[in-house]
Chains A and B, each alone.
Chain A
Amino acid sequence: MLGLNKKDTTLFLIVIGMAMLAPFILNPFPEGSSLAQMFNAGYPDLMQRFVIFGILVIGFNILFGLTGYLSFGHAAFLGIGSYSAVWMFKLVGMNVLPAILLSMIVSGVFALLIGYVSLRRSGIYFSILTLAIAQMCYNLAYSVLGNPSSNFNLTNGETGLQLSLNDPRILGSATTDGALPVTNLFGAAMRSSYQWEAGSWLFTFNVGYYFSAIIMLISFYISIRIFRSPFGMMLRAVKSNQQRMNYTGLNTRPYVLAAFVISGIYAGLAGGLLSSMDPLAGAERMHWTASGEIVIMAILGGVGTLIGPVVGAGFNEYFKNILSKINDDILHTWLSFLPDGLENLLVGFLHYFVGKGWHLTLGIMFMLVIIFLPGGLVQGGQRIAKLFSRKKDGQATPPATQTPAE
Chain B
Amino acid sequence: MDSIILQILNGLDKGSAYALIALGLTLIFGTLGVVNFAHGALFMIGAFCAVTLKKILTLSSVVEDPTKTDFLGKPLKVATPYVESWFGEATGAALIDWAVPLAILFSIPIMIGVGFIMERGLIKHFYKRPHADQILVTFGLAIVLQEVIKAFYGANPIPTPAPAVFRGSFDFGVLLGFDPNAIIYPYWRMVYFAFSAVIIGAVFAFLRFTTFGMVVRAGMADRETVGLLGINIDKRFTIMFGIAAAVAGLAGVMYAPINSPNYHMGMDFLVLSFVVVVVGGMGSLPGAVLAGFMLGILEAFASMNQIKAIIPGIDQIIIYLVAIIIILTRPRGLMGKKGVMEE
Contact = CB atoms under 8 A, between A and B. Distances in A.
Interface residues of B, number: 38
Contacts of B343: 122-123, 242
B328 A117 contact: yes
B320 A357 contact: no
Given A242-B343, A357-B151, A123 B317 contact: no
Given A125-B331, A129-B327, A360 B320 contact: no
Interface string B304-343: 0000000011001100110110011001000000000111
Contacts of A68: 132
Nearest to B37: A292
Nearest to A288: B271
Contacts of B133: 370, 374
Given A145-B313, A363-B147, A135 B320 contact: yes
Contacts of A122: 342-343
Contact of A367 (B132, B144, B323): B144
Interface stretch (B134-142, B163-171, B213-221, B241-249): B134-142
B128 interface: no
Interface in A53-88: 68, 70, 72
A131 interface: yes
A70 B343 CA distance: 14
Nearest to B311: A144
Contacts of A135: 271, 320
Given A357-B151, A363-B140, A370-B137, A125 B312 contact: no
Contacts of B140: 296, 363-364, 366-367, 370
B144 A360 contact: yes
Nearest to A406: B130
Contact of A144 (B125, B139, B312): B312
B313 A143 contact: yes
Contacts of B35: 124
B316 A359 contact: no
A132 B320 contact: yes
A127 B323 CA distance: 13
A366 B135 CA distance: 13
A125 B135 contact: no
Q: Is the contact region of chain B dominated by helix, strand, or loop, or is it mixed?
A: helix
Contacts of B143: 292, 359-360, 362-363, 366
B285 interface: no
A241 B147 CA distance: 38
Nearest to B148: A360
A363 B342 CA distance: 29
A125 B316 contact: no
A123 B132 CA distance: 8
A49 to B, nearest CB: 20
B341 to A, nearest CB: 5
A123 B35 CA distance: 11
Contact of B321 (A136, A145, A364, A374): A136
Contacts of B321: 136
B125 to A, nearest CB: 7
Contacts of B267: 289
A136 B320 contact: yes
A125 B327 contact: yes
A362 B140 CA distance: 9
B342 A133 contact: no
B278 interface: yes
A143 B343 CA distance: 36
Nearest to B131: A124
B147 to A, nearest CB: 4
A121 B328 contact: yes
A123 B327 CA distance: 12
A120 B317 contact: no
A70 B341 contact: no
A136 B318 CA distance: 9
B341 A124 contact: yes
Most buried by A among B136, B148, B150, B275: B136
A125 B313 contact: no
Q: Which of B141, B147, B278 has the most C-beta atoms of chain A within 10 angstroms of its own C-beta?
A: B147
B274 interface: yes
B316 A132 contact: no
Given A123-B343, A242-B343, A132 B135 contact: no
A140 interface: yes
Interface in A266-324: 288-289, 292, 295-296, 299
A18 to B, nearest CB: 28
B328 A132 contact: no
B320 to A, nearest CB: 4
Interface in A333-389: 352, 357, 359-360, 362-364, 366-367, 370-371, 374
A128 interface: yes
A311 B313 CA distance: 40
A125 B271 contact: no
Interface string B242-283: 000000000000000000000000010001001100100010
Given A123-B341, A360-B151, A371 B320 contact: no
Contacts of A117: 324, 328
A129 B274 CA distance: 10
Contacts of B342: 121-123, 125
A403 interface: no
A364 B133 CA distance: 15
Contacts of B320: 132-133, 135-136, 139
Contacts of A131: 271, 274
A290 to B, nearest CB: 12
Given A367-B137, A367-B140, 11 more contacts: A68-B132, A132-B275, A292-B139, A357-B151, A360-B147, A362-B143, A363-B144, A363-B147, A367-B144, A370-B136, A370-B137
Per CB-CB distance, the 3 closest pairs between chain A and chain B, nearest first, are A144-B313, A363-B143, A360-B147
21 contacts: A122-B343, A123-B341, A124-B135, A124-B282, A125-B278, A125-B331, A131-B271, A132-B275, A139-B320, A140-B317, A242-B343, A292-B139, A292-B143, A352-B151, A357-B147, A357-B151, A363-B140, A363-B144, A364-B140, A370-B137, A374-B133
Interface of A: 68, 70, 72, 117, 120-125, 127-129, 131-133, 135-136, 139-140, 142-145, 242, 288-289, 292, 295-296, 299, 352, 357, 359-360, 362-364, 366-367, 370-371, 374
